[in-house]
Amino acid sequence: MKYKFGILIFVILCHIHISAQKEDRKIIQDFELELEGEYRYFYEEAFFEGQKDHFPSLGITPEYSLEWNRGYESINFKGFFRLDVDDERTHWDIRELYYQKVQDNWELSLGLKKVYWGVTESNHLVDIINQTDAVEAFDGEEKLGQPMAQFTWTTEKYGSFNFFYLPYHRKRTFPGRKGRLRFPVVIDKDDLTYESSAEEWRQDFAFRWKHYFGIFDIGLSHFYGTGREPLFVFDILGNIDAFYPVINQTGLDLQITHGAFLWKIESIYRHADAQEFFAFVAGLEYTFSNIDGNGLDIGLLGEYLYDERDELALNALQNDVFFGSRIAFNDTQDTSILIGGITDLESSSKIFSMEASRRFGSTWTAEIEARILTDIDPNELILSNFREDSFIRISISKYF
């Protein structure tokens, strides 16, 4: 069904394109293509039967943009395809395919789009518009394209107001039998049900206000609709039942810039018939700039994470602290490193991470990532299933 929606959007955008050619013949087009070779290695013995250790894969990301009417109107496309050993991780997606019109102090977007909200490093609580691409990245940073109509009204005095109409819900995909970072029971996304009788076609709405006052940069948001996180219920035999509840979520994100300090907070209150909870992330980042006189920046990060759901939190971050460092060399190769660790304050569970990237020449980029799970408490219902799933990922990308 989601692909039929994508075809409909494509037909509409083609019609807009033809109309644009009639109105303004000065059209600017741009096409980019990324080819990625990736290898993930899970160096500990698999916890569940059928899981593999080695996962070579190929990723393809095409991007296309078209502008006319002096740049005030555009069509933007970003696709994605991955071929992987895990059948469920072999997938394709339209990350973005939308028409955008900008006029004076407002803009309108129609189609599939990615929208990001949030300021903290370790967990993005308020970021709720797009569904997580759970098979693509462990940290939840990758998102699926979300069908939407977005209207933004910007004022100098009162900030910006964003209104979202979300006509279709996209389900989260989970690793298959061969995949790692999964539950003992392989979850088929099509088996997950909905609280709403309209299922994925329930009409959802969201709003966000964003403004700044001196050193304060603040965002307030509210989402009403089918939640992006499924609600998991475990029975005494270990079987899993999951469904997508209808939720109301109010969010706050705040960043305070004071010299080299960045103070950050994200907080949400979510209400559903089956669940109600409060969660927040608060912390700071301090940056030592141009340490060696050649542009080296080193940032120190610290955050506290709290979630009332306790061990039932899908992200397993319910009472934890995060410490990390962001290193930017600011060289011509755009070399950067992010290292950090999350420690549970109520148990021995710890997650360490490292991400580094460097450009070679003008069209090649290499990345390395490591996620190490250690001393995971077996009483943690979510994270305990992944306790043997520490991994190293290496990727090389070519840009055209």
> Is pLDDT of 137 > 60?
yes
What is the edge-to-edge ordering of all strands in the sheet holding 193-194? 193-194, 240-244, 231-234
The mean pLDDT of 192-203, rounded to a whole number, is 95
Q: What is the pLDDT of residue 394?
A: 98
What does the block give as tokens for 341? Answer: 């660790």
What does the block give as tokens for 326? Answer: 């962001």
pLDDT band at 165 (very low <50, low <70, confident <90, very high): very high
Q: What is the pLDDT of residue 117?
A: 97
For 27-87, the DSSP string reads -EEEEEEEEEEEEEEE-S--SSTT--SEEEEEEEEEEEEEEEGGGTEEEEEEEEEEEESST
* 23 and 385 Cβ atoms separated by less than 8 Å: no
Q: What is the pLDDT of residue 10?
A: 58
The mean pLDDT of 8-24, rounded to a whole number, is 56
Return the percentage of the chain with pLDDT > 70, whole number.
Answer: 90
* 200 and 190 Cβ atoms separated by less than 8 Å: no
pLDDT tens per residue across span 218-241: 999 999 999 999 988 766 666 677
Torsion of CA 379, 385, 391, 395, to 10 degrees: -130
For 94-122, the DSSP string reads EEEEEEEEEETTEEEEEEEE-------SS
Classify residue 314 by its DSSP letter.
T
Q: How far apart are CA 386 and CA 175, in angstroms?
A: 12
> Is pLDDT of 13 > 60?
no
Residue given tokens 């083609």 in the structure block = 14
Classify residue 400 by its DSSP letter.
-
> Is pLDDT of 42 > 60?
yes
The mean pLDDT of 54-73, rounded to a whole number, is 96
Q: Mapping DSSP to helix (H, G, I), strand (E, B) and coil, where does residue 201 land?
A: helix
> Phi and psi of 325, rounded to 5°?
-145, 135
pLDDT tens per residue across span 319-368: 899 999 999 999 999 999 999 999 999 888 999 999 999 999 999 999 99
Classify residue 290 by its DSSP letter.
S
Q: What is the pLDDT of residue 5?
A: 55
Residues 6+ apart with CB under 8 A from 390: 42, 43, 44, 370, 371, 372, 373, 374
pLDDT tens per residue across span 269-295: 999 998 899 999 999 999 999 998 889
* 173 and 135 Cβ atoms separated by less than 8 Å: yes
From residue 268, give the alpha-carbon distance in Å to each of 126, 165, 212, 251, 307. 6, 20, 20, 4, 10
> Is pLDDT of 23 > 90?
no
For 253, half-sphere exposure in the C-beta direction (CA atoms, 13 angstrom radius) is: 20
> Is pLDDT of 312 > 70?
no
CA–CA–CA angle 60, 66, 71 (5° rounding): 135
Classify residue 173 by its DSSP letter.
P
> Is pLDDT of 3 > 60?
no
Higher pLDDT, 382 or 329: 329
Return the percentage of the chain with pLDDT > 90, whole number.
Answer: 78
Classify residue 190 by its DSSP letter.
G
Q: Write down the mean pLDDT value for the chain.
A: 91
pTM above 0.85, yes or no: yes
Q: Burial, 250: exposed, middle or buried (Cβ in 10 Å; 0-12, 13-18, 19+)?
A: middle
pLDDT band at 41 (very low <50, low <70, confident <90, very high): very high
Q: How far apart are CA 351 and CA 181, in angstroms?
A: 13
Closest CA to 382 of 371, 393, 373: 373
Q: Burial, 226: exposed, middle or buried (Cβ in 10 Å; 0-12, 13-18, 19+)?
A: buried
> Phi and psi of 16, rounded to 5°?
-65, -40
The mean pLDDT of 67-95, rounded to a whole number, is 96
> Is pLDDT of 127 > 90?
yes
Residue given tokens 């940290």 in the structure block = 139
